[in-house]
Amino acid sequence: MKKVILITGASSGMGKETAKALISQGHIVYTAARRINQMQDLKLLGGYPIQMDVTNESEIEETVNTIIRKEGKIDVLWNNAGFGLYGSVEDVSLDEARRQFEVNVFGIAAVTKKVVPHMRKENSGTIINTSSMGGKMYFPMGAWYHASKHAVEGLSDCLRLELKEFNIKVVILEPGFIATEFGSVLIDNFSKISNQSPYKNSMTKIMEGTKKAAEGNGSSKPSVIAKTIVKIVNSTNPKTRYRVGKFAKPMVWMRTYLGDKMFDKIVMSQM
């Protein structure tokens, strides 16, 4: 059945790859991102790109109103916009940390708040929130990123219970290592931090590991996410969580069952 879908963060990586797959299946796909120039290929395929910043409430409202005016409903919202902020707690400014939460957490909340009333009216809908395996575990130098994804987990769990009576499903996507812009963003974050940082050695090791993963077989292709989202969209009863991509399942398993000290040893042994 053809569905009306809104995807945030669709200008690259997982969002763009999935948009292509959903458009090819005949769904009506609206793609939202700040970089609208990078979504023109989606327009040629039959998608509907919209320039929107998830931290700008008026832009969100305008986007949702446009879709409702044209389509009358939104069947699926995929809150995919987000980025990774890396650096030690000591080095990263609180302004940068607040920006991380504005996009990764409050951005999800802002878009959701505008879409939910329309889903309630239809007594139907699916909301997919992109968390990460990092929402269940942690790596050094990623405190603010992991904190934001842990928050996405809690937000989504509560939202799922709140919306159950309105027949609105809330699904949490927990990707592992995916070949996207994430690695380059991490390296850029580190490069902005002073060479005088007391954490320079740790940052160097993490950068080397990130580059090695990008060059080798350390990440899954975005297509694994696209297949998963397509499955969720086409399901009448999707699972609560989908953990997909390189290392996602084993890393979360280790974090859950091995305990803090053992998991700490495993993580630090990779540095």
Only one residue has tokens 């305008």, namely 62
Please state the φ and ψ torsions of residue 197, each to the nearest 5 degrees: -60, 135
CA distance 28 to 111: 18
Residue 178, beta-bridge partner list: 220
* Chain Cα centroid distance, residue 12: 12
CA distance 21 to 184: 25
Marked catalytic residue, from 3, 20, 136, 149: 149
Yes or no: say if 141 and 204 are a contact pair by the CB < 8 Å rule.
no
Q: Which tokens belong to 11?
A: 């200008």
Residue 242, beta-bridge partner list: 173
Marked catalytic residue, from 131, 148, 156, 220: 131
The yes-or-no answer on residue 145 being catalytic is yes
DSSP state of 219: S
Yes or no: say if 104 and 152 are a contact pair by the CB < 8 Å rule.
yes
β-pairing verdict for 28-33 and 76-79: unpaired
The yes-or-no answer on residue 149 being catalytic is yes
The yes-or-no answer on residue 30 being catalytic is no
Marked catalytic residue, from 11, 88, 148, 156: 11
Marked catalytic residue, from 30, 48, 86, 145: 145
SS3 205: helix
DSSP-assigned letters across all residues of 55-110: T-HHHHHHHHHHHHHHHS---EEEE-------S-TTTS-HHHHHHHHIIIIIHHHH
CA distance 96 to 92: 7
The yes-or-no answer on residue 86 being catalytic is no
The catalytic residues are 11, 131, 145, 149
